[in-house]
């Protein structure tokens, strides 16, 4: 049975601790700031309780889940006997470099060192390590205890077996891993989001429609399919014989649009001010915290609904 160390106890590390513990794994928890460890232990308790209430529990008691966690006073203790480290330290390359020097020297040679970083390639902080071939990025979408997608991104020197091992672990604990063949800015998720955001800002900057209308186009339109099908499956099912027919019919139209969308734009001060001002008429600054709570409730409810439907469908 895999044993896991959580290194770095912020929002992301805390959610990871819940993900691993609810999946039945023993989890050690460490942070450079001892109080952060306590926060993670408290988060797993409240998070497991919330999942139960949201219809997302695994049938176990909260105590059974939290009993798998061990807060550690030292990094050495946290790494003792583990097979996999999920690191979620601050997103600064010098912090990661220093931390990975310690991790690489303290962790047994077989231990996978996985970083939650969203922006730094593993090559930027593992190059000089003796055992750098066991390092990779395992990037979650926050919060991983609700959103299953994780991006596995190897450095040029990551051994393929390490990626296999991380992928198998993610599948086993109920996450949804995807594999990138190499490092690339933004990985896959932020590149896709960038493409959509780029056009969203372009439409508002050009006065075509309001930011609220762009949001409706997604939340009341495109997003209803993207919730359970990706863009390729969507178009594949939209032509009688599949995606090749779709591309034959509509490829030229999309190429025309792509050429119109090929002007990368900075989100300049006037545009940002305009979007900010439009957003504040929908949700005032004071109402943002309540709206975030709304978002979190909705996300949990929809993840639960998706699990029910997909389970009934057997997919």
| 106 sits near its own copies (criterion: CB under 8 A) | no
| 184 sits near its own copies (criterion: CB under 8 A) | yes
Q: In the set 236, 270, 281, 311, which binds its own copies (CB under 8 A)? A: 236
Are 152 and 166 in contact, with CB atoms under 8 Å apart?
yes
| 307 sits near its own copies (criterion: CB under 8 A) | no
| 64 sits near its own copies (criterion: CB under 8 A) | no
| 141 sits near its own copies (criterion: CB under 8 A) | yes
Of the candidate spans 41-49, 59-67, 82-90, 185-193, the one that interacts with its own copies by CB under 8 A turns out to be 185-193
Q: In the set 72, 273, 281, 311, which binds its own copies (CB under 8 A)? A: 273
> What b/e sequence results for 156-181 when a residue is b if at least 16 CB atoms lie within 10 Å of its CB, and e otherwise?
eebbeebbebbbebbeebebebeebe
Q: In the set 121, 279, 281, 311, which binds its own copies (CB under 8 A)? A: 279
Residue located via tokens 């999309």? 254
Q: How many Å apart are CA 67 and CA 45, to the nearest integer?
A: 10
| 291 sits near its own copies (criterion: CB under 8 A) | yes
Q: How many Å apart are CA 42 and CA 39, to the nearest integer?
A: 5
Backbone angles phi, psi at 152, to 5 degrees: -100, 120
| 286 sits near its own copies (criterion: CB under 8 A) | no
Q: How many Å apart are CA 70 and CA 17, to the nearest integer?
A: 10
Q: In the set 105, 237, 270, 311, which binds its own copies (CB under 8 A)? A: 237
DSSP labels, 101-142: HHHHHHS-TT-EEEE--SSS-THHHHTT-TTGGGEEEEEEPS
Q: Which is nearer to its own copies, 1 or 253 (CB)?
A: 253
Q: How far is the CB of 240 from its own copies (least distance, A)?
A: 8
| 56 sits near its own copies (criterion: CB under 8 A) | no
Q: In the set 33, 110, 224, 281, which binds its own copies (CB under 8 A)? A: 224
* CB-CB neighbours of 7 under 10 Å: 30
| Degrees to nearest 5, angle at CA 29 with 15 and 50 | 30
| 41 sits near its own copies (criterion: CB under 8 A) | no
> What b/e sequence results for 206-228 when a residue is b if at least 16 CB atoms lie within 10 Å of its CB, and e otherwise?
eeeebbeebeeeeeeeeeeeeee
Q: In the set 146, 162, 163, 169, which binds its own copies (CB under 8 A)? A: 146
| 199 sits near its own copies (criterion: CB under 8 A) | yes
Q: Which is nearer to its own copies, 64 or 247 (CB)?
A: 247
| 156 sits near its own copies (criterion: CB under 8 A) | no
Q: In the set 80, 120, 203, 205, which binds its own copies (CB under 8 A)? A: 203
DSSP class of residue 144 equals T
């Amino acid at each position: 049975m895999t044993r896991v160390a959580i290194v770095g106890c912020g929002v992301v590390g805390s959610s990871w601790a819940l993900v691993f513990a609810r999946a039945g794994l023993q989890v050690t928890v460490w942070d450079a700031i001892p109080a952060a460890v306590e926060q993670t232990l408290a988060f797993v308790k409240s998070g497991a309780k919330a999942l139960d209430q949201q219809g997302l529990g695994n049938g176990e008691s909260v105590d059974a889940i939290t009993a798998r966690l061990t807060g550690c006073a030292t990094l050495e203790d946290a790494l003792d006997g583990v097979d996999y480290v999920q690191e979620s330290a601050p997103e600064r390359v010098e912090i990661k470099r220093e931390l990975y020097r310690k991790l690489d020297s303290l962790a047994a040679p077989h231990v996978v060192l996985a970083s939650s970083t969203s922006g730094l390639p593993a090559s930027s902080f593992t190059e000089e390590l003796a055992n750098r071939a066991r390092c990779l990025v395992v990037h979650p979408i926050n919060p991983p205890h609700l959103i299953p997608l994780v991006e596995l991104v190897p450095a040029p020197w990551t051994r393929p077996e390490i990626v296999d091992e991380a992928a198998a672990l993610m599948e086993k604990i109920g996450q949804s891993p995807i594999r990138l063949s190499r490092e690339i800015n933004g990985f896959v998720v932020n590149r896709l989001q960038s493409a959509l955001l780029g056009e969203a800002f372009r439409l508002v900057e050009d006065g075509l429609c309001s930011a609220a209308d762009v949001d409706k186009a997604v939340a009341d339109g495109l997003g209803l399919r993207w919730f359970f099908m990706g863009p390729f499956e969507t178009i594949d099912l939209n032509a009688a014989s599949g995606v090749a027919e779709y591309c034959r019919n509509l490829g030229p139209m999309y190429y025309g649009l792509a050429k119109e969308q090929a002007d990368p734009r900075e989100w300049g001060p006037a545009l940002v001010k305009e979007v900010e001002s439009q957003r504040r008429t929908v949700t005032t600054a004071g109402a943002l915290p309540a709206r975030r709570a709304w978002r979190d409730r909705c996300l949990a409810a929809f993840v639960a609904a998706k699990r029910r439907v997909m389970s009934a469908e057997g997919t």
